């Protein structure tokens, strides 16, 4: 299997070389913003693109398909009732410049959803900004503290350190979770003293942990006491198993809370790029609205009308979400039961989202260090036709882990994928 999974050219970012290219050998006059050189294509995207490229060659050599466990894409189509609403909105010519911050009807649907599902009271249209995905909501919120200090629990979603923080030239402090992904509150309290913004994500990517109401309340309280903003990232709020419940920081009445929400995963709308943020302080929401206007001038109008229908049509919405979550749960169960049979692998069963973050310390040669160690499991799995993401990009202490996403893999593929993992370490 030489050459399959062993090339590392794809690790390099497309932009290489000097920061200030000159033309025709002339002395350079313009320096590009160094922030543009600090950002990277997320390893998740790079691995995905590479694995997809490798698929045909792997098939030719082995007669088998690659198993794609790497990306948080979803494999359900967007529900028909949402697509129909977008088509209707187009026919109604909802194609003009949108109202800054979002269309009133869309915001009202969001407010109803926030009240019914998140128990978030005392909010008005002034607290909400509609964004291009959760991604823009996060970007704008970090932007409030450009050049400042951020912190997050580790492991964390890798674009935080790969994109948001370097793009805004911020510092990032990682607060490692304990082995069972529980929180060291003393450490959190200490770190928050010197931090502008704390990024927090539940249900969590990459661990699948759902933080409890008590945990979220304690985090919010500590952020408030330490005068740090709490940026609560909640795109997986509805993908949750075993009767667990998502508790949203948006329901807490502290001025320093911003919550980011998304349609991507809940309604299988990753490509629509729709999300919104809720800032408890309307003045902050006002700034973020101007930030949004400066970047994109707002979310396409007809998409907002489809988003309104997605939220308001509870019967269709709950039916679609229920079907997706049932399927994700079946996949999670089969993944956990199969992986439990692989000696040397340890993991916590995900309670939400669609990721598992197993630890392979027991299977990594003790003398391996640094990058060789960090990519040992990942490389071995790529060689065996299984794409995952190496743990080191989710936090400094997690090089012995990998992230497995079960968002696009039906049960038989999961069984096959885990069998390949087992064989890779035989
Ligand atoms: N936050 C987390 C933790 C995610 O995993 C993702 C997407 O994978 C997002 C935010 C952004 O989602 P989107 O921009 O598609 O709404």
Give the span between the Cα atoms of 230 and 151, in whole angstroms. 10
Q: Which residues pair with 197 in a beta bridge?
A: 150, 229
Q: Is the CB of 157 under 6 A from ligand 1?
A: yes
Nearest atom, ligand 1, residue 72 CA = 8
Pick the CATH number of 9-76+318-424 from 1.10.10.10, 3.10.180.10, 3.20.10.10, 3.90.1150.10: 3.90.1150.10
Round to whole Å and give the CA distance between 26 and 19.
15
Contact predicate 369/361, CB 8 Å: no
Q: Is the CB of 235 under 6 A from ligand 1?
A: yes
Measured in Å, residue 133 CA sits from the centre of ligand 1 at: 7
Look at strands 197-201 and 149-154 and give their pairing.
parallel
- Among 200, 264, 296, 357, the mutation site with the greatest number of ligand 1 atoms within 8 A of its Cβ is 264
Residue with tokens 């309604």: 267
Q: What is the dihedral of CA 278, 283, 286, 292, to 10 degrees?
A: -60
User: What's the average pLDDT block by block, 10 residues per block, for the chain (426 residues)?
Assistant: 40 52 69 83 80 87 92 93 98 96 97 98 98 97 97 96 93 95 97 98 98 98 98 98 97 97 98 98 97 94 98 98 98 98 96 97 93 90 93 92 96 97 94
Whole-number Å distance, alpha carbon 63 to ligand 1 midpoint, is 34
CATH architecture of 80-313: 3-Layer(aba) Sandwich (3.40)
What's the CA-to-centroid distance between 365 and ligand 1, angstroms?
Answer: 34
**Does pTM top 0.85 for this prediction?**
yes
Task: Among 155, 199, 205, name the best residue to mutate to test ligand 1's pocket (greatest count of ligand atoms within 8 A of Cβ).
Answer: 205
Q: 135 CB under 6 A from ligand 1? A: yes
Give the length of the chain.
426
Task: Copy the structure tokens of residue 91.
Answer: 């026919």
Centre of ligand 1 from the C-alpha of residue 205, in Å: 9
Most distant CA pair in the chain: distance in Å?
66
| Ligand 1 atom nearest 201 alpha carbon | 3
Number of other residues whose CB lies within 10 A of the CB of residue 294? 10
Q: In the chain, where are the structural domains located? A: 9-76+318-424, 80-313
pLDDT of residue 35: 86
234 lines ligand 1 (CB under 6 A): no
Angle at 355 between CA 354 and CA 360, to 5 degrees: 155
Q: Does ligand 1 have an atom closer than 6 angstroms to the CB of 206?
A: no
Task: Determine the residue of 235, 258, 263, 267 to mutate for testing ligand 1's pocket, defined as the one with the most ligand atoms within 8 A of the Cβ atom.
Answer: 235
* Atom 8 in ligand 1: residue holding the nearest Cα: 72
Whether ligand 1 lies within 6 angstroms of the CB of 70 is answered as no
H or E element, residue 277: strand 275-279
Cis peptide before 153 (omega within 30 of 0): no
The CA 111 to ligand 1 mean position distance, Å, reads 21
Q: What is the Å distance from ligand 1's center to 235 Cα?
A: 6
**Ligand 1 pocket test: which of 43, 71, 134 has the largest number of ligand atoms within 8 Å of its C-beta?**
134
Q: Is 155 in the pocket of ligand 1 (CB under 6 A)?
A: no
Ligand 1 contacts CB of residue 205 (under 6 A):
yes
Secondary structure percentages of the chain, helix, strand, coil, to 5: 45, 15, 40
| C-beta of 152 in contact with ligand 1 (< 6 A) | no
* 391 Cα–ligand 1 center, Å: 18
Check residue 20 and give its pLDDT: 59
Count CB-CB contacts under 10 A for residue 340.
13
């Amino acid at each position: 299997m030489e050459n399959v999974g062993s090339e590392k050219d794809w690790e390099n970012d497309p932009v290489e070389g000097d920061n200030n290219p000159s033309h025709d050998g002339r002395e350079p006059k313009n320096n590009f913003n160094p922030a543009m050189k600090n950002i990277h294509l997320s390893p998740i995207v790079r691995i995905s693109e590479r694995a997809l490229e490798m698929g045909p060659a792997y098939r030719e050599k082995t007669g088998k398909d690659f198993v794609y466990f790497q990306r948080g894409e979803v494999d359900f189509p967007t529900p028909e009732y949402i697509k129909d609403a977008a088509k209707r909105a187009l026919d109604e010519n909802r194609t003009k410049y949108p109202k800054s911050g979002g269309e009133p009807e869309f915001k009202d649907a969001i407010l109803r959803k926030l009240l019914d599902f998140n128990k978030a009271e005392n909010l008005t249209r002034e607290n909400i900004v509609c964004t291009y995905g959760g991604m823009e909501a996060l970007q704008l919120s970090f932007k409030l503290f450009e050049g400042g200090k951020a912190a997050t629990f580790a492991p964390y979603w890798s674009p935080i350190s790969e994109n948001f923080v370097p793009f805004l030239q911020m510092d990032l402090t990682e607060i490692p979770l304990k082995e069972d992904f529980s929180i060291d509150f003393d450490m959190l309290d200490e770190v928050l003293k010197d931090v502008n913004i704390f990024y927090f994500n539940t249900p969590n990517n990459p661990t699948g942990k759902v933080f409890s109401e008590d945990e979220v309340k304690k985090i919010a309280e500590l952020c408030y006491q330490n005068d740090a903003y709490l940026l609560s990232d909640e795109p997986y709020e509805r993908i949750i198993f075993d009767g667990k419940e998502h508790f949203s920081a948006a329901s807490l009445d502290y001025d320093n809370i911003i919550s980011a929400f998304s349609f991507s995963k809940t309604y299988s709308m990753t490509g629509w790029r729709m999300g919104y943020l809720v800032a408890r302080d309307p003045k902050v929401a006002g700034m973020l609205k101007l930030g949004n206007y400066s970047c994109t001038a707002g979310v396409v109008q007809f998409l907002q009308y489809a988003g309104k229908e997605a939220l308001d049509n509870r019967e269709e919405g709950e039916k679609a979400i229920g079907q997706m979550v049932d399927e994700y749960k079946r996949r999670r169960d089969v993944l956990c039961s199969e992986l439990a049979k692989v000696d040397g692998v340890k993991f916590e069963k995900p309670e939400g989202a669609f990721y598992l973050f197993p630890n392979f310390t027991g299977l990594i040669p003790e003398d391996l260090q640094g990058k060789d160690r960090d990519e040992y499991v990942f490389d071995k799995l790529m060689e065996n036709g299984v794409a995952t993401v190496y743990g080191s990009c989710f936090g400094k202490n997690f090089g012995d882990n990998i992230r497995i996403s079960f968002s696009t893999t039906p049960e038989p593929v999961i069984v096959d994928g885990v069998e390949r993992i087992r064989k890779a370490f035989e």
